Amino acid sequence: MSSLSEPGWEALARDPQFLELVSSRRRFVAIGTAFYSAYLVAFLALLGFAKDFMSKEIAGISLALWGGFSICLLTVVMAWLYARRAGEWERMAQIVVEGAGRR
């Protein structure tokens, strides 16, 4: 495919491989966002409504602080999961690009 020519965007949007790529990414982001948001809201709810529970200490550190650490850890884990999946999405995108080049 020449760098000067425009691909057929309508045909590309109907390509089953492209639709699978978009669906896979959308599903990952939606589930990840919902999980992270629910986790954060639960943590904030515990901070607000279960102050006695969150003030208990484990290993000399309050549960509130452990919860804050867990949110930081969850962010790193989610970024790692995204990076792992990004390789798969890149391969899927390459297949779509190669298919568009043959048209």
Grade residue 9 by pLDDT with cuts at 50, 70 and 90.
Answer: confident
81, pLDDT greater than 90: yes
| Model pLDDT, residue 6 | 67
Q: For the segment 43-58, what is each residue's pLDDT rounded down to a tens digit?
A: 999 999 999 999 999 9
Query: How far apart (Å, rounded) are the C-alpha atoms in residues 57 and 88?
Result: 42
- Helix then strand then coil, in percent of the chain rounded to 5, is 80, 5, 15
Going from N- to C-terminal start, the domains of the chain cover 9-101
Grade residue 4 by pLDDT with cuts at 50, 70 and 90.
Answer: low
| Model pLDDT, residue 100 | 75
| DSSP secondary structure code for residue 102 in this structure | T
